[in-house]
């Protein structure tokens, strides 16, 4: 466990935030530098075919110890951390044998993680928690996944008596800004299926994500002097507001959970002459997802019928689809994980991902890729933490999956 923890603490101190404003691939130079560091570590451990692509993808191979195994399994984690909260000068701290009380992260700044605000803490009494100093995120999303995969890889290399087939490893850039699969070479990776280790509390396993799309709607108005606006002025902001009010008021993120979808208004800006609004659309069922997109178009047509053609224009863009569609025909991939989690002394918790992962896109690119827990809690925030014991369980699950794959 010491090696696992030491790795993790070393990794989170490297600032690898992604940035969708740069136009670079990977989006930040620090990710490429980190990729090269990880590649060198993999070589030192003894993995073969270690490579860093021009886009910052790290790939490597654990050679088979049993040539009768036909399938090649892959394990994937992402190197970048979220741009939602600062990751500059991460200063992690380990709380050994957590006592179940509120945790003071930063005494001088008065930053406290309370059990009232984070009741998940109480699940981990007696365990060792890695926390922040209250001024940055931690980066367990997804450096916990990287540390777990590399630790499991080292264990397998050092224990060749464990029988397994060929195993492929990949660490990707820019997952947090939705570009983690953009330059992923599925054919070159050469796996039959893979698993991401990204987020999620111990025992959690996910093979179902949202279907996702974005919508931008532009409303055009007509401006004149307000004192003489009678019968002439057409205020695009008021038209946009009426459009928003026509959507179901309870089908929003703050009113949805589980398998429920939503419309989410993420931006609005405008003037009398022109207003732009942006939505994201999410749903698990493909038919309901299509219905939501059609409803946005229907309401645009309704606006145009009232205020004139061209008053409102909509642009819809699909972002990713529910990976379940591609995984259900190969449910043995799910069975491997359920068995591995059970064999490692946990109850498998199959939950839907109310978001997306690299695996969502990879599954539709020909590489079925469910997601397995990495152990962290409160991602993208100063209250992010990860129990060391959860990371160790993830290592055990990786090793067990390798034993089960035939």
Which residues form the catalytic set?
Answer: 80, 175
Give yes or no for a contact between 386 and 130, defined as CB atoms under 8 angstroms apart.
Answer: yes
> What DSSP element (H or E) covers 401?
helix 388-404
Give yes or no for a contact between 195 and 72, defined as CB atoms under 8 angstroms apart.
Answer: no
Which among 72, 163, 80 has a CA at the least distance from the CA of 368?
72
Report how far residue 187's alpha carbon sits from residue 366's, in angstroms, rounded to the nearest whole number: 9
- Residue-by-residue DSSP string for 258-278: TT--EEEEEEEEE-SSEEEEE
Give yes or no for a contact between 79 and 146, defined as CB atoms under 8 angstroms apart.
Answer: yes
Report how far residue 234's alpha carbon sits from residue 264's, in angstroms, rounded to the nearest whole number: 26
Report how far residue 315's alpha carbon sits from residue 278's, in angstroms, rounded to the nearest whole number: 10
> What DSSP element (H or E) covers 74?
strand 73-78
**Mode of pairing for the β-strands spanning 349-350 and 204-206:** parallel
Which among 388, 400, 383 has a CA at the least distance from the CA of 119?
383
DSSP state of 203: T
């Amino acid at each position: 466990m010491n090696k696992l923890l030491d790795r993790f603490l070393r990794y989170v101190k490297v600032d690898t935030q992604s940035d969708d404003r740069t136009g670079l691939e990977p989006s930040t130079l620090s990710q490429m530098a980190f990729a090269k560091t990880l590649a060198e570590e993999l070589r030192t451990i003894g993995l073969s075919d270690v490579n860093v692509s021009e886009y910052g993808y790290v790939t490597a191979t654990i050679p088979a110890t049993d040539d009768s195994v036909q399938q090649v399994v892959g394990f994937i984690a992402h190197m970048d951390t979220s741009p939602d909260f600062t990751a500059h000068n991460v200063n992690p701290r380990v709380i050994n044998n957590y006592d179940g009380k509120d945790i003071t992260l930063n005494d001088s700044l008065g930053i406290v993680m309370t059990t009232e605000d984070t009741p998940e803490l109480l699940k981990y009494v007696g365990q060792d928690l890695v926390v922040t100093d209250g001024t940055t995120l931690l980066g367990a999303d997804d450096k916990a996944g990287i540390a777990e995969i590399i630790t499991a890889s080292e264990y397998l290399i050092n224990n060749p008596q464990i029988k397994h087939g060929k195993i492929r490893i990949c660490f990707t850039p820019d997952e947090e800004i939705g570009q983690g699969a953009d330059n992923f070479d599925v054919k070159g990776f050469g796996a039959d299926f893979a698993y991401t280790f990204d987020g999620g509390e111990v025992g959690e396993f996910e093979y179902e994500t949202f279907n996702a799309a974005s919508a931008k709607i532009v409303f055009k108005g007509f401006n004149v002097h307000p004192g003489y606006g009678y019968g002439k002025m057409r205020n695009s902001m008021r038209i946009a507001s009426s459009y928003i009010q026509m959507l179901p008021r309870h089908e929003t993120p703050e009113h949805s959970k589980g398998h429920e979808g939503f419309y989410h208004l993420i931006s609005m800006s405008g003037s009398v002459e022109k207003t732009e609004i942006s939505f994201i659309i999410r749903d698990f069922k493909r038919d309901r997802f299509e219905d939501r997109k059609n409803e946005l178009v229907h309401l645009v047509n309704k606006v145009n019928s009232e205020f004139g053609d061209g008053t409102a224009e909509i642009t819809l863009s699909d972002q990713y689809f529910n990976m379940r569609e591609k995984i259900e025909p190969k449910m043995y991939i799910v069975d491997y994980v359920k068995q591995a989690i059970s064999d490692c002394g946990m109850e498998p918790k199959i939950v839907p991902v109310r978001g997306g992962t690299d695996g969502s896109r990879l599954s539709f690119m020909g590489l079925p890729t469910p997601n397995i827990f990495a152990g962290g809690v409160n991602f993208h925030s100063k209250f992010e933490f990860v129990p060391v014991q959860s990371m160790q369980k993830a290592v055990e699950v990786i090793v067990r999956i390798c034993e089960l794959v035939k």
